[in-house]
Structure formats: structure tokens, C-alpha cells
Amino acid sequence: MDAMTLYVPRNSPIHRLDPLTKMLYIVVSIAAAYLLDGLWEVAAVMIISFGILLIGKVFRNILPVIALSFLLILSIVIVQGFFNPANETLLFELGPIKFYQEGLVIALRLTMRVINMVCAFGVLVLTTSPTELVERLQQKGMSPKIGYVILSVLQIIPQLRATYAKIQDAQRARGMETEGSLLVRVKAFFPLLGPVILNALNDTRERAIALDVRGFDRDTPKTYLNEAKSYRYSVLLNVLLLLILAGLIVWRVMG
């Protein structure tokens, strides 16, 4: 994995797809998960996203991201299982609190939609270089300023993580305890947070100066370091995805 991005270089068919096709897949996949109501139907959409990540050889890389969604998923199960107004069939009781089957079904559906959303974005972020994505969007007419914002968003978390690790190593070399029990880690976290934020602000300032020196705000036509890539089957895949989306919308309206 690139230290400054979430992109994972691999030799796979998914990596060679047009970034715009992957962006369209995000839209279609998320829309399909919400247009379909059946548990098995939503599960099928989620499994397709799993399959694409497996083909792209990045499935293991999405697992930590899914784990970060655990609190959201747990809250969905608790709220829907105990308090959904549609609850009727009792599954079990915890003292005065009752857990219902209808809420569990709704929670499972919402959980699979959340996981599918994470995986759909993972298809783009984990298999597409941010530089390639932004250049492709700019070649389609997007403003370089918007491209820079997108590139910064894709890089901010990995950059902060790398900066945090660097500062943590420096503080550890000075004798600061950063490992051990949960209490020790919490105590070490807040003293490290300040330098990380200040370092991020300083990096932003230096990047702004560098862009200004290179004439980023000029209105003259921009040139690209890399030649425009050609993507096989991109038109066919885009048409297929759009047909799937249109078919689902028609089916939902007619149903």
C-alpha cells in the first residue's frame, strides 16, 4: 500500500479498469442496495462487491475499514431490534427490554447496505491511483482546483497516519510511554495529537506555496506528466451499468 494513499498496487483486471467506470459502479451498487428490499437481494449486491474486491486482490485491505464501521452497525442492530415501531415477533428479552424479529431483519438489511457502501468505495479507492483518478476527471473537463481538493481528501488520512507514526517514534525515542495498557495509550494520544495537527497545517501551507510557485492559479492550458491511458471495455461496462440502474429503477417504480 502506498504510504500516502489507500491505493494498493496490484496486477488485476479491476486495477486496469477506467476510474470513471468504478465511480459509476459506486453509484449503481449503492442505488441497487437501496432499490432492492429482500435480504437475499441486498446480500447479492454486497457479495458482488466482495467478488470485485477479491478479483482486485484487495479484499483483505477493506476488512479494517469494515471493522471501523462496527459501532455504527452495532447501533443499527440495537435501535432496530429493540425500538422499531414495526416490531411484533419477540425473539428474546433482556429484562424489561425486548428484542424483535422484524427489527433484526431491518437491521440486517441496513447493515448489508452499509458494508456494501464501504466495499463499493473500496473498489475505487483501493484499486485506483489518486493521481490517475484526478487526471482522468480533469481530462473530462473537471477544474484542476476541484481535482486538487479530491486528491487532498484521498490523501489526508494516510498522511495523518504516517505523521502520527513518525511523531510517535520520535516521542518514544525521548522516553515517552506509548505502548501498554489502554490507559497508557490514551494518555499518550493527546500529547501526540497537537504536533500531528500542527504538522498537518504546516504541510498544507508548504503545499499551497509550492502550487503558487508552479502557477496553479494560471488560466493557461494545463499539461499532464502522464499520457492519457486507453481503457478496454470502458464504454461497454458503462452502458451495462447504466442499463442495470435503469432496469432497477423501472422495476421499483412498476412494482
pLDDT, tens only, 133-151:
888 887 777 776 776 676 6
Does residue 13 fall inside a structural domain?
A: no
Strand ranges (DSSP E) for the chain?
Answer: 90-94, 97-100
At 214 the pLDDT is 62
Lowest mean pLDDT among 122-131, 155-164, 238-247: 155-164
- For the chain, the domain total comes to 2
Does residue 33 fall inside a structural domain?
A: yes
Beta bridge partners of 93: 98
Q: What mean pLDDT do residues 45-68 have?
A: 92
- The reply to whether 23 and 120 lie within a common domain is yes
Does residue 3 fall inside a structural domain?
A: no
Does residue 228 fall inside a structural domain?
A: no
Give Cα separations from 150 to 128, 153, 174 (angstroms): 13, 5, 37
Which of 59-63, 192-196, 207-211 tops mean pLDDT?
59-63
Calpha distance 67→115 (Å, rounded):
10
- The reply to whether 99 and 149 lie within a common domain is no
Does residue 135 fall inside a structural domain?
A: no
Contact 102, 89 (CB under 8 A): yes
